[in-house]
Amino acid sequence: MKKNYIIIFLCLVVIIAIIVLSWLFTIRTIDVEFLNDVENTSKEEIISLANIKNNTNIFVIDEATIERQIESGFSDSSINVTTIERSFPNIVIIKVKERVPLFKIQRNINNSIQYVTPDIDFRRPTTYKENELPEIPLIEVLNLQLTDTYNTKECICLRNIALGLIELGFTENSIISFIKSIEFSGNTVKINLRTTDTSLLINWNDVNIKSEIKRLINRYFNEVDDFTEWTGVTII
C-alpha cells in the first residue's frame, strides 16, 4: 500500500511539474527589433504577420515558418527577417531590417530601357521607368544591362563588392555615400568614389572580389586622412 502512495505522489509531482513548466515556457511577449530605419512596416504588423498563436510553447515555434510568413507579407520583398531569437523563459525576439536599395541598373524589357534598384541580396525587384525612379542616392552601374535574371557574373561581382565592404564595417547607407558608380569594362571593374576623383580598379576575372575590395580599401584608408569622418568606418 505504501508503495502505491509513493507512485501516486510521484505521478502528481510529474503532472504538476509539466503544468508549471508548460505555463512557464508559454510565450508571453513578442518583441520586434528593427536593425535599421524602417519605413514600410511597424512592430504591430510584424507581430500580426508572425501569427504566433496564444499559449504557444517557446520550444515548439518554427523559425523558418515565421520568417516566411513575415517576408511573404511584403510583395516588394522590402522586409528581411534576419533572426528569430528565444529569450527564456517566455519571450520571442524578431529582428528585422528593411532592404536598402543599393544599385541602379538598366534593364531591357521588350526593347524598352527601364531600371531596377536591387539591394545587397538582389531583392526588391521593382522595375521603374527613368522618370519613376525613387529620389534616393544609389550606386549607378555603368555598361551593364540586365534582361530577365540577376544570376549573372556582373551581379555576383556587385554583390561581392558590397559584401566585402560590409565585412569591413560599412553599412548599406555608408556604401552608397562612399561609391558613386561602378563601371564594367572588359576584365576591369572601375569603382568611382562619390566625394573625390579617386577610382579603385579590380581585374575581376583573376581575383577573389571580396578579398580584393578589402585590400584596396585598407590601402586607401592609410592614404586618406579623413576616411573615418567621411564614411563613418574605422579600418582596424
Which of 196-200, 211-215, 228-232 shows the lowest per-residue confidence on average (mean pLDDT)?
Answer: 228-232
Rounded to 5 degrees, what angle do the CA atoms 37, 42, 44 make? 150
The structure's pTM equals 0.80
| Residue-wise pLDDT tens digits, 170-198 | 999 999 999 999 999 988 999 999 878 88
| Residue-wise pLDDT tens digits, 60-97 | 999 999 999 999 999 888 999 999 999 989 999 999 99
> What is d(CA 78, CA 73) in angstroms, rounded to the nearest whole number?
10
Q: Structural domains in the chain?
A: 25-98 (3.10.20.310), 103-231 (no CATH)
Task: Report helix, strand and coil shares of the chain as percent, to nearest 5.
Answer: 35, 30, 35
Q: Is the confidence at residue 151, as pLDDT, over 60?
A: yes
Q: In the prediction, which pLDDT does 183 show?
A: 96
